[in-house]
Structure formats: C-alpha cells, structure tokens
Structure 1
Amino acid sequence: MKFTQPWGRQRLSFLLEKAASREAKMWKVYVPKKPSSQDTDISPAQRDEAVRWLTELHSRLQLYPETLVLAVSILDRFLAPIKARPKYLRCIAIACFFLAAKTCEEDECVPSLRELAASSSCGCSPSEILRMERIILDKLNWDLHTATALDFLHIFHAMVLSCRSGFLDSMLGLNRSQHLALLTQRLYHCLADHTLIQLRGSMLALALITLELETCCPDWLALTIDLLKRAQINSSELIRSRELVARRLSTLRASLPPNTVYIYQPLQSQTALRHPVEEMEVDDFFDGIKRLYNEDVTTTITVQEGATPATGAITSGGGGGGGSSSPCPPLQPVSAS
C-alpha cells in the first residue's frame, strides 16, 4: 500500500475498513505443527531461516517493502496446510518471492527468473521455480491479494500523523518516511519469528505502532485507545500481542553493541542524523520507503525422495515447466472448464 499523498481521517477509515474486511476473509488461525524426528516436513525454525534468507535477498535487490512482506505472507499461507520436505523450502520461498515481486513491483523492476535464480543461489533452475510457482498458485486458488501487516502499519502510521503531525520532529527528529522505515525494519524482524504467525497482520502492526508511541508520545494511551476503537480490536488481545512483539524486539536491541550511535548522512545533505535506535541499512532502505510519500530525501504435498520439482515429484500438480529462458506465465486465474 503506497501512499502518495496525505490522507484525511475519513479516507483512512475507509482504507482500514477495507483492509480489515479482506483480512477477515483470508485469515486462518495458525496451528503449530507437531515436531517430527523425521525429515518429512518443514519445521518452524527452518521457516524462520527461509524468511531471513528472503530478507537478505530483498535488501540486495532493493525492491519495495511490500514485496518482501507479501512474499512471507504467501509462504506462510502455502506452508500452513501442506507438508513438504525441507530440501524444497528454498524453491518454495523463491517462487513466493517471485510471485510477490510480479504483484508489487513495476514491470521494469521485476528481476528476470534467470537473474533471480542466479543471484539468490537457491539451488533451483528457472523451470523448477516456474513449476513450484504454479503449485503455489493452485493451492492459493490464484488469490495472492491479502491485507498484510505492512498495509495496516501504513494506515495506523498515517492515522497517528493525521492528528499528531508534529511529534516526529519534536520527539524523534525524523520525517515520516524515516520513521516508517524504522518501523518497517522492526516488522521485518518480527516476520522472521514463527511464534508471531499467530497474530493477524492488523494486530502485529498495531502492536508495533503502539509500542513506538509509548516511547515517544506523552499521550500515547489516548492515541492507542483511538486506534483500538477505529480498528475494532479488543484491548486484551492487544496487550497480549504487545508482550509477544516486545519480547521479539528485545532480541533485536540485545544484539547491538552497548552505547551504539548510528549516523545517517543523506546524499544531498551534510546534516547528520544521530538516533540511538537499532541498526538499519538506511541508504538501501530509505530510497524505497520515501517513494511512499513522494519525499525527496495441512493438504499434503508428497515430495518423493530423490526427485525434484521439475520432474513432477510434487504430486499436487502444477503446470508446465518451460525452459530456463522461458518468461513467467501471467498472473491470471485458470478459467473453469
């Protein structure tokens, strides 16, 4: 959800209602899988590792934040009801990432399949990724559009700024894009934790924004109550979510050296910004975020041992593979026969 201009409260309420309606339609309660001693299913820890791998790839390619968050959403929606061997996880993850890039990015910014396979070192050929992509689309009924945590984060962030536009400058010394970049980096950190899959995207975003308000806004409680009412979220649910998210964010801060000061030097300005927060790659990250505001600065998939996706070993089907130089098929539903 890329905002190109400030929105009024009425427009923001409409966007929130629309996103919440979509989330209610798509959301399914996360059911943790039972641990197994056999190498027959992807473990939560392996899922987290795949998300971190996608995050690193996304940073190198400098794509929109929406691409990464949607890729993780597709990955989780796909893995929730199926079983697949861990050795196919990277093929699944890179196919989810490719689908998300084609959904969120401008056409000229979408990496070619050959380039993506090579730069990611996923160990899959382009034809294998294409076959996995078709399997994912079939399992998700060709419906990739869902309200993600990042969509809600944008909406809640804009709602706060619509009534407290000056608190960023006075309290943090950040403009809205820099502040949103900071929150989005925290969201990335949360996405790589399977224990937070149990939270709806709206709840995860609200927990992130209210935890931030508590640290920098004197009337954060009043703002939180207002957001709760507008999002129609139960306060006890938010309290529990905040505890989970705060625990996750504490691991991010604990990994930093003590007394660390990070300096951001804009390319067009010699004024340095010093802000004692967690480390973030501002040069790579801010360029993508600033475009948001036009600112200058369990179904079972049986994977047979020894087979590969390209050989048809995944029994839930999928379309043709195509050669390594074949373009990816357009994203459109299969017509009913």
Structure 2
Amino acid sequence: MSEGLTWTVYDADTMTQAEIYGEVLCQLGEQHPEIVALSADMANSTKIGRFGKKFPERFFNVGIAEQNLFGVAAGMAKSGLTPVVSTMAAFTAMRACEQVRTDICYQNLNCKIIATHGGSSFGQAGTTHHCTEDLSIMRSFANMTVIVPADGIETANAVRAAIDWPGPVYIRIGRGFEPPFYESEDYGFAIGKSVELHPGTDVTLICCGIAVLQAVEAAKFLQANDDLSVRVINMHTIKPIDEAAILSAVTDTRRLITFEDHNVHGGLGSAVADVIAASGKGCAFEKVGIPDCFCEVGYPEDLYSHYKLDTDGIVEKVREVMGRDFEEDDDWEDEV
C-alpha cells in the first residue's frame, strides 16, 4: 500500500490539483523504480517537473512535440517501464490523438496520462486551450480507462490507483485552484466505482470534476428550501462506468441529471445515457454541460455560472426537471 499524503487538507487549499499529483508522483517514484516521467516542455505548468527534480535520470523532456511525447512513452512502456506522461488535455486528446490511440491504446500499453487544463479551466486562454471534447475521444478508445477527479485529494487517489491499474489510463484535471471537496483520502476510492455523496430519493445528480462540489451544495440547498431529497453521485470514473449505481438511481429516483465541464455530446452524460438506454427503463433525464458549441472565453468561474455548472445553475436545473410530468409507475414491462 502507498503511504498517505504528507500534507493536510489545509495545504490543499493552496495547492492545485497538478501540484498535488506532482507530490504524489514523487512518493510513488520512491516505491516504483520503473516509473519514468515525460513532458513536452511543460514541466512547470503541469507540475510533473517535481518528479524531474527528484529523479532527474528518470525524467524526459521531448520539447514541444506532443506526438513524439506519446510515441516515446509507448516505446518505454514496451521495454517494461511505467511512463507517466503529462501535458495539456487539448494537446493530449487532439494534437496527439493518433499516437495515443495507435501507439498506446492499440497495444494496450501500461502508460499513465495526466492531462491538465481540462474542460474550460483555462477559460481565458480561448478555444485553442480549452478541452471540452477529450472525454468523448478518450472513452471511445479500446483499452483506455478514463478518470475525472473532483479535487486534489481525489487526484492523489486516482494517480496511485492508476499506477496499479493495468493498461493505459487517462486522468483529466483542471488548471488552477479548483476548490477542495474531500477532507481526507479515506472515502473508498476505487477505479470504476462511484461515490454517493448525498442520499436522495427524488432526483439523482451524477457529476464529475468541478461539478461535484457544486452539486453537493445544491443538494443541501434544495433539501433545506424545497424539501427535495437529492442524491449526488461522484462518477469519477467515466470508463469503466459504474452501471450498478446508475441503474439503482433510475429505479430509486426516476429522475437523473448529469453535470460535467465537457461538451454534452460524448462525455459523462452520454455514458450514463448509454447505460439507461441499454436497461430498457425509462426516466426523466437531462445532460448539462457545454452545449453543442465552442466554449466562451472567460474566467472559469464565470464560465461555470454561464453553463449552469455552479450551485445556482444546478438548483435551477433540478427545479426544472422536477416540474416535468412523466409516468412514474413501477411497472417496467411497457417500457422495454
């Protein structure tokens, strides 16, 4: 078992997700001599440079050449090493898409990808640096595992779990000071297993990444002000997805809403919809995220508000879905 973090939740208030994963990766490097780290001239921005300072002989900077970055990582994995690769999500999922797919996933290589600046977290940098398509792309690749941590502490858990998980893993984190949610690492993180954060029987909110904290705050507000029982599920693993938790929510609440900092096509919402459709069970369902457009340019907090991913937006969407009329009987036979 890996040792716990040497910092506390109070440190997490002043550390980005990337800084936390950089610290955890250094700890893992002491335990796993087969781990090597690779960067495309972004060691400081992605914080993988922390590993490079501690293990300079195991750190490789290929320069501004993301396609080469993943090709080199594939070769290292073939030789028995465990490469951890980090660059921006936009460069990983799109600029080096072919190399991730063909060099790494096709060969099912043990390569761990930590993609920073995911979603609209680099909002003021514009469309070239936004990445609201990566979950759709990555979950379509055979052999790829896809994880979207809710905060720095969950990022630490995800990185540790990824090292022990066979095959390629894509971990998508933000750019800056996404607020912490968890108070400790001991809440039962496991790849492919969601976490229920708030019980409820009226409606279920299935979230990942930055939407998790906002959804829990919305659930508490709705319980206090609307007398609504709102279940909140942190679906940190998009692939393999926790089908049992989704189907339980369909049966128990009959209303589901997904929230994600990603295009509504192909990401978490689509993955949840696939499970519901395959079950043959009906429910009121809606996907909330970036609509079928390129994200606006602005500070992340303003974008989250604009796209209804903050607490106010989630409350508004829940009230809207609760106002819908649909068949709520327990007989599924006419819906199969």
TM-score (norm 2): 0.24
Larger Rg: 1
- Relative contact order, higher structure (CA 8 A, sep 6+): 1
Q: Which protein has the bigger helix share?
A: 1
